[in-house]
């Protein structure tokens, strides 16, 4: 017969810990499912494609801070210039244009990028890289067509 085991064991606390652990696993699983579905950016839930006239705007409704996210803009150029105008408030988030615009005009309210129609082809990509988390609402004009761009940026 050996000595009894002196152990600071609290089974009720241990059972609560196991319960919390299981709940944590479920939350982790839901987090992964949300990520796969695109609720955290880049996926079926997040993807949005809008059409106005002969122009389309394609982007993710959910983006992540400091992570590049493309906004695909398509339209039919009126002449030799393909013009995209976006509200000035998202100018800070514009990381790049693909292809490079022929010229960019920064006004008090808007930023206008003009592309050679041949280089732009059927459309251009505006790559955004948001410096801050939160909701972003901005107008995007493609020729005569105007879109309301709404994107939520996760931290």
Partner 1 sequence: MDNVIRGVVIYFLVLIVFRLAGRRTISQTTPFDLALVLLISEAAQPGLTGEDRSIVGSAITICTLIACDVAMSFVKLRVPIVGKWLDGVPLAVVRDGKPNEESMRRSRVDEEDILAAARDKRGIGSMGEIEHAVLESDGQISVIPRKGKSATA
Question: Does 31 sit near partner 1 (CB under 8 A)?
Answer: no
28 scored as a contact of partner 1 (CB under 8 A): yes
Query: Which of residues 51 and 67 has its CB atom nearest to partner 1 in the complex?
Result: 67
CA distances 127 to 21, 66, 67, Å, are 40, 11, 10
Dihedral pair phi/psi, residue 67, rounded to 5°: -115, 125
Q: Cα Rg for the chain, rounded, in angstroms?
A: 24
Closer residue to partner 1 (CB): 29 or 121: 29
Regarding 68 and contact with partner 1 (CB under 8 A), the answer is: no
Asked if 92 interacts with partner 1 (CB under 8 A), we say no
The shares of helix, strand and coil residues in the chain, as percent rounded to the nearest 5, are 25, 45, 30
Distance between CA atoms of 155 and 134, rounded to whole angstroms?
8
> CB of residue 133 vs partner 1: minimum separation in angstroms?
11
Q: Where do contacts with partner 1 occur on this chain (CB under 8 A)? A: 1-2, 5, 7-10, 13-14, 17-18, 20-21, 24-25, 28, 66
């Amino acid at each position: 017969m050996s000595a009894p085991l002196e152990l600071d064991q609290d089974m009720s606390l241990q059972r609560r810990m196991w319960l919390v652990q299981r709940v944590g696993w479920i939350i982790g699983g839901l987090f992964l499912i949300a990520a796969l579905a695109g609720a955290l950016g880049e996926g079926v839930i997040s993807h949005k494609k809008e059409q106005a006239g002969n122009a389309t705007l394609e982007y993710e409704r959910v983006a992540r801070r400091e992570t590049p996210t493309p906004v695909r803009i398509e339209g039919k150029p009126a002449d030799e210039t393909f013009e995209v105008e976006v509200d000035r408030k998202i100018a800070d988030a514009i990381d790049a244009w693909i292809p490079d615009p022929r010229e960019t005009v920064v006004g008090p309210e808007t930023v206008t990028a003009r592309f050679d129609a041949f280089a732009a082809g059927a459309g251009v990509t505006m790559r955004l890289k948001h410096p801050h988390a939160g909701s972003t609402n901005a107008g995007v004009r493609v020729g005569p067509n105007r879109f309301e761009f709404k994107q939520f940026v996760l931290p």
